[in-house]
Structures are given as C-alpha cells and as structure tokens.
Amino acid sequence: MWNRNDVGEYNREMQTTPIFMPPEPTNLEIEIKINQHDGTFQTDLFCDLNQCGKNVTIVSDGPKTVQNVLCVEHGLLTSFPDQTAFREFVRVFANKILKVNGHELIEPGAMSIVGDNQTPPESMN
C-alpha cells in the first residue's frame, strides 16, 4: 500500500514526459551520429513502421504550425503542434539513446538545424 509521501517521492524521482509528446509508438526510429571533434550531434529520423527504414519528411507551413512527419511509403506517421515541440521530442528521444551509451546529453534549448534552417530556440516562441 502506498501512502501520500511514497507517491510524492516516486513522482519526484520519475522523469516527466512533456505533454506535447505523441503517444507511443510514434513509428519513428532515430539515428545519432556524434562528432567528437566539435561536440555536436546529428540526428536522423526514419520510418519504423514494419521496419521500413526510409527517411521521413517534416511538412509544415512554418515553425509555429503543425509539423507532420511523413514517410513516402506509409504516409503520416505522427504530428507535433509546432517546431519547438518536434525539436524537443527529438532531443528527449536522442538523450535516451545517448544516456544508455554513456554520452553527454543534448541540453534543453540547444541550437539545432531542422532541415536546412538553423534556428535558435528562442526565435520559435
């Protein structure tokens, strides 16, 4: 039997998932390449539906609009409310892999390049 203090302690120790995260499974696979020379990371997303493995495309009308993740073979895989949510999803997902492998984690608010656009996080608010 749990008492109120046990539940509170449990909740403090558990990592919370941001509310914008899509429900599992997302049908996305992530690959992370680490550049040891400059401390950067490259993340690539692939369709994981039926182990497809094809690159996905992000379709939107801008950084503050819905970000649809599409596979050329399977269509819509998942969506995010905006580019900030999409970037945070990729960061959290990548950090799970990096942590398991003992690598440095990607900081919240880190500079990222989505497609061909390098955008500081504060410009997306």
pLDDT, tens digit (0-9, with 9 covering 90-100), for 43-89: 999 999 999 999 999 999 999 999 999 999 999 999 999 999 999 99
Q: How distant, in Å, are the alpha carbons of 23, 53, 58, 71 from that of 29? A: 14, 8, 14, 12
pLDDT tier at 116 (50, 70, 90 boundaries)? low
Contacts for 54-58: CB closer than 8 Å, 24+ residues apart = 56/28, 58/86, 58/114, 58/115
Give the residue carrying structure tokens 């945070």.
Answer: 88
How is the chain split into domains, by residue range?
A: 22-124
Asked if 47 contacts 27 with a C-beta cutoff of 8 angstroms, the reply is: yes
Burial of 121 (0-12, 13-18, 19+ CB in 10 A): middle
pLDDT tens digits, residue range 17-30? 455 555 556 799 99
CB hemisphere CA count around 30 (13 angstroms): 20
